[in-house]
């Protein structure tokens, strides 16, 4: 006798597992033992249950046969669901001002932040920024990085260029893209061009006309007249956001553009121009 059982009354009890008799496995019924007919079962010598092949439902067999036939015949022609809408790619907006610094970059900023596809350009011959006096502007060529302009002006007179908002503007711009870009040098095809003053509108229209429209790709050009200062640029940024939203949800911009511009004019103070050109 195990001496531990004498000391511990719990161990003194007989293990109930040892009291089990022969394995009490389920006894197959006579119908199950017959092994004949649909749905017969089999029992192995150790008592394990095993379904016979005849227990596989006819539906599954038919489905398997159908799948095999389809695999041999190849994929069928998809049905045309009239209720499903056709794929519509996202529009590409392009915002254009003179120097690709203030107004166009404010529009670029708000549209990009709202999730729109957007690019921006300038139409001038060079990038011109306010200097210490009206007759001494800071002039840079297109392609000069915003960060380089920021560092140069910050080294020249940080107090002046902070007070007039140039450093804050350049800091925003360098977080959006590398450098100001010129419209006339661009090759990207946009769906909608938003210009920020009439001379930029004219420059874009004239440039597209000179290209000859070899792609035959229409583009809507919309001018929003904006004064070139930071306050007016902020206000116009909200107007551009409303305009882009109305254009993007339109199912047919060619049909809806007049109504969209009418609503835009009623909601915002900027005068509008519109033209259709071709890339």
* Angle at CA of residue 256, ends 91 and 199, nearest 5°: 70
Asked whether the predicted pLDDT for residue 43 surpasses 60, the reply is no
The tens digit of pLDDT for each residue in 108-143 reads: 999 999 999 999 999 999 999 999 999 999 999 999
What is the average per-residue pLDDT within 60-82? 45
Q: What does DSSP say about strands 41-43 and 49-51: parallel, antiparallel, or unpaired?
A: antiparallel
The tens digit of pLDDT for each residue in 237-251 reads: 999 999 999 999 999
Pair of tokens at residue 212: 């000859």
Segments of 126-173 assigned E as strands: 127-133, 136-140
Nearest to 180 by CA among 236, 129, 231: 129
Asked whether the predicted pLDDT for residue 42 surpasses 70, the reply is no
Provide the pLDDT confidence category of residue 88 given band limits of 50, 70 and 90. Answer: confident
Q: Does residue 177 contact residue 205 with C-beta atoms inside 8 Å?
A: no
What is the average per-residue pLDDT within 91-112? 98
Q: Is 277 helix (H, G, I), strand (E, B) or coil?
A: strand
Q: Does residue 123 contact residue 182 with C-beta atoms inside 8 Å?
A: yes
The tens digit of pLDDT for each residue in 144-202 reads: 999 999 999 999 999 999 999 999 999 999 999 999 999 999 999 999 999 999 999 99
Nearest to 139 by CA among 103, 180, 185, 106: 180
pTM: 0.70
């Amino acid at each position: 006798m195990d001496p531990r059982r004498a000391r511990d009354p719990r161990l003194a009890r007989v293990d109930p597992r040892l009291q089990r008799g022969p394995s009490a496995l389920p006894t197959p019924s006579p119908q199950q033992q017959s092994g004949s007919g649909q749905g017969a079962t089999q029992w192995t010598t150790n008592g394990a249950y095993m379904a016979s092949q005849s227990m596989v439902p006819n539906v599954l067999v038919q489905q398997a046969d159908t799948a095999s036939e389809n695999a041999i015949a190849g994929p069928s022609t998809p049905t045309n669901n009239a209720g499903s809408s056709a794929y519509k790619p996202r529009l590409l907006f392009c915002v254009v001002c003179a120097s690709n610094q203030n107004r166009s970059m404010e529009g670029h900023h708000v549209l990009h932040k709202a999730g729109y596809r957007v690019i921006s350009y300038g139409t001038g011959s060079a990038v011109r920024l306010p200097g210490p006096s009206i007759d001494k502007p800071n002039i840079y060529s297109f392609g000069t990085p915003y960060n380089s302009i920021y560092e140069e002006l910050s080294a020249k007179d940080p107090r002046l260029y902070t007070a007039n908002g140039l450093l804050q503007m350049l800091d925003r711009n360098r977080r959006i893209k590398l450098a100001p870009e010129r419209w006339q040098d661009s090759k990207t095809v946009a769906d909608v061009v938003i210009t920020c003053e009439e001379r930029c509108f004219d420059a874009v229209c004239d440039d597209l006309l000179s290209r000859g429209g070899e792609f035959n790709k229409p583009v809507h050009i919309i001018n929003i007249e904006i004064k070139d200062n930071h306050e007016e640029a902020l206000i116009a940024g909200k107007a551009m956001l409303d305009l882009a939203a109305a254009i993007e949800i339109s199912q047919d911009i060619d049909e809806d553009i007049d109504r969209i511009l009418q609503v835009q004019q009623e909601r915002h103070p900027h005068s509008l121009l519109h033209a259709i050109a071709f890339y």
